[in-house]
Structure 1
Amino acid sequence: MKNWTIYLIHHSHTDIGYTERQEKLMNYHRDFILQVIKILDDLHSGKLPGCEGFKWQCENQWQIENFYANATKEQTKKFEYYVKTGEIGLSGNYLNMTELVDREVLFSRTGKAKSYGERIGVPVKSGMSADINGYAWGYPDILSECGVENLLCALHPHHGMFPLYRKQQPFYWQGPKKNKILVWGGEHYHMGNEMFLCPHGGSSYMLFDDIREELAGGIHTLREEETEEKELAIAQTRILRYSANLEQEGYAYDFFPLMVSGAITDNAPPNAYVAKRVNDLNKLFEGKITIKMVTLDEFFEKVRSSKEIIPAYEGDFTDWWADGVGSTANTVKICREAQRKYDLCKKLDPENKLGDAKLLENAAENIMLYAEHTWGYSSSVSEPWDSLVACLEKKKDAYAINANTDVSRNLDLILSGLGEVSIDADKQQRYKAINPHPFRYRGTVKLYIEYWEYLEGNTLNTRAVPEAYDEKTGEKLICQGHRTARAYEVEVMVDLAPKEEKIIKLKQNFENTGTIKNHAHIGSEGIGDLETGKEYLETPFLIETDYFKVEFSKEKGIASILNKETGQFITDNTLAEGAFSGIYELTPIKDNNPCEVRRQMGRNRCSIATQRSVAKLTDIVIIESGEVFVTARLSYELPGIRYYSVLLKIYKGFPMLEARVCLHKDSVWDPENLYVALPFITDQSAETYVDKTGCILRPGIDQLPGTCQNFYLIQNGLVRTGRDTDVIISTKDAPLISFGKREAAPIRLCDGKNTELNRSTPYSWIMNNFWETNFKADLGGFYEFTYTVITGKQESPRQAMEYCKAVNEGILGFYI
């Protein structure tokens, strides 16, 4: 047997809102650092004999930011002192995140660790995460750009799994920009507790051994000394078994890391007696196994000094835990809008001369707190009626709401600086349209006329024809009006150069110079359903423009979409589901236990018992038509959904269509999923790209070996490339996407060669309540999801994805 060294990292796992109120946990984590300072003070003053060697690792920079926001000058001075002595470790990871957050916001937070380290003279070279099952491929670039060289991943493989088919191993992870960090894929963050390295803080969660059975009823002794002896015996047994198994598996190193918490809970306090347990075990092991409490930097110094060859990989570390966002779709929508506005603020006001830096800072912080991995209180599914469950859900929502409010206020300041004015009783219908994007944008800008407004002395009359003019040139612009709840929306076609501004004047035309036409095309009932070959049809059977021919059928709804520029269909017409059709899945609860049925799914998000239904078309109505677009409303029936309709808007001046999926969801406690079919294709040369935080990638291909390919959390949408044309599909407020079959089956991990998956049918995964602990159980309510499809050949997949992002952000139009 080798002489082993265990590097023990003592930390508190940050899980904001899982075990307590969010603001309460902020107090806890501030106090945990104060407790660490007191432990170290007591240790050095001789008040804690036997606890020599105690060290503490801050899990993330947020803990430190939170501490400084509430600490005295003397307390921060003490903290910095122990950081410099190496008894408290810093971390370059800001929080344990989902991939919901975008690169700009994540970079702004991650950079705080670097700035802090520079301020106190201690470089932050290492980071760690716990619990979460992955990160977007752009993360190593972000960490490297912020000075972080090392990342310890202590993931939790519940409904997930570690990459590279094994844990307790290092690898270099290279980002798309070729920045490289050293990653250690470690054990569950409580594995030190499984080894009983924390007195009165042992557990049997990951280890299925005889000791687990023995401890099923807890430890029962007559004296505290007996409990100590029992725990020491368990610790020796489990550590020896674990070490022997590593050696039997051919493990290359003579050391390994373990994480330990001061109590067997998330958001756990520090425990000085972890050090005493370590010292007691070191005496019992007599040099065969040596346990050392260390910081991240110390551990990675050991890894880097090893002579073992460390492999390097590129690709996405796809997160198995991304699906929580599907349980809170409406709040995710608010967060996504906040991120888009944050990006627009950066584009319009890069030097922050017009906006308020504090508002932007607050928005970024709240976006991070919402996108942090905790998706509810621990009993959200087992006790969805509980007051604390409801309270913590709304407090989580508040992060997204507050982010949206602050960034909206900042954008208002910027637009005001660019000429926007408030409405007034005698306002003129003058507007400014701005292309904020760094490339030419061809599309529409939406301008609004309040219903009470007068235009050139006349009340707004929605029966009149709206007209739009370029104020500078006098050019008449193509536009179309549309009634909304509080205003008349005029959608104006524009073609704007990068950063170009255009002043637009709106008028209304009361003249109706039309007359009846002599050729057979429409009857007195007003329905144009004759095929004449002279005019495009706009019927419940077929809608045609210069760019698309969309056909409908009773069986599928949208049966096919033909790209007239290439003569090829952009939909896979062999599938049972039409474009934007809903697919609903429900897995019945067994034995009145809502948690067990979810646990048994493992890494599947459904089971053999899952009942699957596809939406059935009930009606199609053409509700609007003009110079800019034609809109059809498709109505469907779908179990679990009281109302499901698709408002399909087909533009006439450029190759773009928009689908708004509107639905009223029933409240169901059973695990359920709702998908929207996106059966868009190009040709045999097709490749699919998605954008994630700081990267674009090909699902099934550009991933670390052994990672999840069941679903992905994306930023803006996907691109299906082709020889003659690309198809861009923006998913805007629906960030989860899956590909191919969704039936329960043995899980195939990614090998980087799955071109079949990459070319398979995408499905927008708009809702789920899968997890058995802290997802929102109730998906009931009203929702709207918007998808935009654009065809045309782009210079590169990256350019196509940037255009997809621009479509989601849009052209800005406002009163002046």
Structure 2
Amino acid sequence: MPAAATVVDEVLILHHTHTDVGYTHHPPAWWHLSRRFLDAAIDLCEQCAERDERARFKWTCEVTGPVRDWLRHRPARQVERFASLCRAGLISIGAAPWHYSPLADAEDWATGLADAVALRQEFQTPIRTCIQHDVNGIAASTNQLLRDMGVDLVIMAINRYFGTVPFPRLALVNWRLHEKSPAIRALSGDIYHSFSRIVQPELGDFAKGAQNLAAYIATLQQRGYPHRFLYLTATHLKFSDNNPPVKALSDFVQQWNREGRTPVMRIVTSNELAVRLAAVAPTEIATHTGDWSDAWGYGLGAGPRHAQMTTTGRNALRTAELIDATTNAKTPTLAEVAAQARHAVALYQEHTFGHAATVYDPDSLRVELGRITKENYACEALALGTLTLRDVLESVANNPAMAVGVEGVLAVNASPLASTHALHVPDAVFDNTWHHHLSSVQQLDTRFGGKAIGVFSLPPWSMRFIPRSEWQAEPAPAAACRVAPGCIASPYYELTFDEQTGRVTSLKDLRLRRELLDVSSGWEALSLIHEAPAADQYKPSKYRGRDAIFNPDFALVCADQSGWRNDWRATRAQPQVATHVVRHEADGVSLVRNFAPNCGMRDLSIEIKLHAFHPQVEVNVRFLKDSCYTAEAIYLALPLALQGWRAWWGGDGVPVELDAGQLPTATRDFANCGAWLAVSDAQSCIMVATPDTPLAQIGEFQFGRGRLAIDRSGRCLLLPWLYNNYWDTNFNATQAGAQAFRFVLTSAAQFDPLSAAQFAASAERPVVHPVVKAPITTATSLLRVNGAQLLSLRRVGTALQARLLNPTARPVEAELEVHHPKHHVRTAIAPNSIATLLLPG
């Protein structure tokens, strides 16, 4: 006889607005509405304060970003009302800065979560939860970061529209990254607004609400729901995103309970929910292990150019702060501009990338307004990030406000590996006609081209002044590289190609004596693949082919059913080489192939460069993309000669192993790879730095297949994912115009996660800056790091803050030595964990 169903005798209701910046309103208007929502919530909390405790109006602020904005725009009296309600337990705040996309890495999360720590201290209110609504996953680093700051519950309300749910709805689980790591409790809630959708309190129909609720509970009980309480969220019946608070919810709960209806209803804040769930016995909670991969992350491929801009600006800011922290640079504007840059970075990383109608009505004003504002955050991130870097370098160089001509350049290698590359300067700097002033300096990062001044070596984490006397007018081709018919080679790799067609036929590692490419693959290596749903898979509609991949009926989402069409068929094609040429340069040798227009791409060129001084193969892809609103995708084809392989990627900085390192039911359709990918077999490992596209498919074409494990019986087809517009809402329907992507490949005897992270960090080229007057010191070592990856080093008040990541599966003792001011520290770091150090300034 089956066990009797657990009786649900209480419904816990969390009331909030879902923060979707720009999804329903033009973002400048959204900011004002967001402030008014919190104003209204304060009023309702005070108006309903005398009600029965269960029906008392309560409000939860999902994320801290809008709270911080509200605090900047409200008078002290209003702020005190808010603080009083927080202390009284009527308003709670979630710890996350925003609902983040996978573009945010561990350092972004750590920086953003610091806001929650500050708010907790400022208002003397607990912050016990991290709320991530809508998104399909959460960064691996948060598992530790949240525990370290005292958060004991992650609340998810996954929207499985074009996504996936790794746990049953309303499952309370212990989530950990690996078998030996601590766990944090996570609640896999129903999609946000579930109470509003099921009970519809605004309508005041208690009989209908009771009927719907009973049916919902019965469905849960059939699945073996174990708890006596039910947790649901309430937004607004007709407006589930960016909604005002609803007094009718409190009215409904009060009347429901007065009438003696069951189950009893209770409005709770997120903190109260955490307290209630903390009482659930450990024996009732299953433990799940692995990375919680975000199945929505592929949407980043709809705007690759602006994702690149955001990441480039963020990295420039981090370099600026590192130089500022390790030199005598005095840059008064740094703190102000850095804060603005960080704000812009965070708002581009926030999970909303456009209006709801981006695909259905792509040329409308409402869509254009949202797109422009979102893309402007990326432009701000790039402009302000590079502004901070050039400002700090101006301080280090001690340049005058105005001058003509330069005596040399300052080269900075802010990476953990030594760098030997050809350095370039603008023509005017080379010709010594450079007019140096504030405006010209801030154009250095938007100038293209320039002249090579020679090949120069820089140790890890170092700066070097290179006087004009060391420059070379015409640097000689790298002697270590050779060119032969149908072949180019460096000391590390040999690339062969068909002289007639330009097709790559081989890439050999000369050290490992191994072919790296699967030359028998049906896909031409190091070329692009264009993909689209087969034309007979869909009919003309507002979905423009996306419904061939996913059933857009939202009723499936509400019923917690998948809409994926796992058997969807695609047409795929590769552009053909029109011309090719070999270039022998100062720091390497390249094969440059130009392709005939095809697949909506024009002026497509792919350069494959073998570096003379590093075991690296650099691939530069450039093309002009035609506008196309129907569903399509573009990949780089890397068929690898690896069998019985395993794969890893960088994620948010904490490495993830395909299958073995993921939650058992997390998406395998693609990898949110972050800065790098690695594929290894028993003989060798191939690593790919991916600075310009954080997405890839591994093994074969996986998207939309819903596989729970990836077949390894054949060789690995690695597919860095340059572009896709497969989402039918939120993300851009198209991104036409100039596109550029850079990849760097290397190989080794075996996989090592720290080596992979260091390799990816070294893919950033040295920064070159004009120096008007030659300095006394010609070379400077800034710092030294052993045993860990340096995520950031910057000034925080009067101290230096360093963040170190151990990306390995073993404990390490990391060492950090800062040369100015002098510090030498050692710290133990647990596997896949972060250590934050505060050093005297």
Fold conserved (TM > 0.5)? yes
Report what 1:576 is aligned to.
522
The residue type equivalent to 1:639 in the other structure is: C
Distance 1:454 1:671, change over 3 A: closer
Identity rate, percent: 20
Task: State the Cα distance separating 1:424 from its structure 2 match.
Answer: 7.3
Report what 1:480 is aligned to.
none
Task: State the Cα distance separating 1:538 from its structure 2 match.
Answer: 2.3
Match of 1:592 among 540, 552, 557: 540
Report what 1:545 is aligned to.
490
What SS does structure 2 have at the residue aligned with 1:695? coil
Task: State the Cα distance separating 1:700 from its structure 2 match.
Answer: 2.2
Match of 1:657 among 570, 594, 617: 617
> What is the distance in 1 between the residues matched to 2:366 and 2:413?
45
> What is the distance in 2 between the residues matched to 1:575 and 1:69?
58
> What is the distance in 1 between the residues matched to 2:530 and 2:184?
41
> What is the distance in 1 between the residues matched to 2:751 and 2:355?
46
Distance 1:40 1:442, change over 3 A: closer
Q: Work out the number of aligned pairs and report it.
A: 731
> What is the distance in 1 between the residues matched to 2:692 and 2:31?
29
Report what 1:330 is aligned to.
305
Quick check: 1:170 aligned with 2:175? no
Distance 1:649 1:375, change over 3 A: same
What CA deviation, in whole Å up to 9, does each residue of 1:532-587 have, x standing for no partner? xx997525621122221101136782221011111101222221223321111123
What CA deviation, in whole Å up to 9, does each residue of 1:146-187 have, x standing for no partner? 3322111011011112113x1211112224793532100010
Report what 1:562 is aligned to.
508
Report what 2:21 is aligned to.
16
What SS does structure 2 have at the residue aligned with 1:801? helix
Task: State the Cα distance separating 1:505 from its structure 2 match.
Answer: 3.9
Distance 1:236 1:596, change over 3 A: farther
Alpha-carbon RMSD: 3.1
Match of 1:184 among 167, 172, 187: 187
What CA deviation, in whole Å up to 9, does each residue of 1:640-695 have, x standing for no partner? 222321012222233212111111112112111111112345x5575322111141
| 8 Å Cα contact 2:549/2:704 also seen in 1 | no
Report what 1:362 is aligned to.
340
Report what 1:36 is aligned to.
41
What SS does structure 1 have at the residue aligned with 2:292? coil
> What is the distance in 1 between the residues matched to 2:403 and 2:750?
46
1:277-426 equivalent positions in 2, closer than 5 A: 277-284=252-259, 286=261, 288-307=262-281, 308-350=283-325, 354-355=330-331, 356-419=334-397, 421=399, 426=404
What SS does structure 1 have at the residue aligned with 2:623? strand
Gaps of 5+ in 1: 201-227, 458-483, 515-533
What CA deviation, in whole Å up to 9, does each residue of 1:344-397 have, x standing for no partner? 124323379644112111111111101111111111111111012112111101
Task: State the Cα distance separating 1:511 from its structure 2 match.
Answer: 10
Task: State the Cα distance separating 1:65 from its structure 2 match.
Answer: 0.8
Gaps of 5+ in 2: 434-446, 551-562, 772-841
| 8 Å Cα contact 1:6/1:258 also seen in 2 | yes
Report what 2:438 is aligned to.
none
> What is the distance in 2 between the residues matched to 1:444 and 1:24?
48
> What is the distance in 2 between the residues matched to 1:249 and 1:508?
73
Report what 1:59 is aligned to.
62
What SS does structure 2 have at the residue aligned with 1:325? helix
What CA deviation, in whole Å up to 9, does each residue of 1:690-717 have, x standing for no partner? 1111411112221112111111222212
780-789 or 35-44: bigger deviation = 35-44
Task: State the Cα distance separating 1:62 from its structure 2 match.
Answer: 1.4
Match of 1:442 among 396, 419, 425: 419
| 8 Å Cα contact 1:61/1:92 also seen in 2 | yes
Match of 1:76 among 79, 83, 99: 79
Structure having the higher Rg = 1
Distance 1:785 1:511, change over 3 A: closer
Distance 1:758 1:738, change over 3 A: farther
> What is the distance in 2 between the residues matched to 1:596 and 1:95?
30
1:338-737 equivalent positions in 2, closer than 5 A: 338-350=313-325, 354-355=330-331, 356-419=334-397, 421=399, 426-437=404-415, 439-444=416-421, 446-451=423-428, 453-454=430-431, 487-490=450-453, 492-499=455-462, 501=464, 503-506=466-469, 538-539=483-484, 541-553=486-498, 557-587=503-533, 588=535, 590-595=538-543, 597-602=545-550, 608-622=568-582, 624-637=583-596, 638-681=598-641, 686-721=645-680, 725-737=684-696
Report what 2:557 is aligned to.
none
| 8 Å Cα contact 1:4/1:243 also seen in 2 | no
Match of 1:738 among 697, 714, 735: 697
> What is the distance in 1 between the residues matched to 2:755 and 2:378?
29
| 8 Å Cα contact 1:451/1:486 also seen in 2 | no
| 8 Å Cα contact 2:10/2:228 also seen in 1 | yes
Task: State the Cα distance separating 1:433 from its structure 2 match.
Answer: 2.4
Report what 1:136 is aligned to.
139
Distance 1:788 1:445, change over 3 A: same
Report what 1:275 is aligned to.
250
540-549 or 331-340: bigger deviation = 540-549
Task: State the Cα distance separating 1:257 from its structure 2 match.
Answer: 0.7
> What is the distance in 2 between the residues matched to 1:510 and 1:120?
62
| 8 Å Cα contact 1:429/1:507 also seen in 2 | no
Distance 1:52 1:745, change over 3 A: closer
Report what 1:786 is aligned to.
742
763-772 or 141-150: bigger deviation = 141-150
The residue type equivalent to 1:780 in the other structure is: A
Task: State the Cα distance separating 1:451 from its structure 2 match.
Answer: 4.6
> What is the distance in 1 between the residues matched to 2:220 and 2:480?
74
Report what 1:800 is aligned to.
756
Distance 1:408 1:746, change over 3 A: closer
Report what 1:523 is aligned to.
none
Distance 1:609 1:306, change over 3 A: closer
Task: State the Cα distance separating 1:17 from its structure 2 match.
Answer: 0.4
Report what 1:517 is aligned to.
none
Task: State the Cα distance separating 1:89 from its structure 2 match.
Answer: 1.3
What SS does structure 1 have at the residue aligned with 2:389? helix
| 8 Å Cα contact 2:638/2:717 also seen in 1 | yes
What SS does structure 2 have at the residue aligned with 1:350? helix
| 8 Å Cα contact 2:422/2:587 also seen in 1 | no
What CA deviation, in whole Å up to 9, does each residue of 1:493-515 have, x standing for no partner? 4151443535354556689999x
| 8 Å Cα contact 1:278/1:292 also seen in 2 | yes
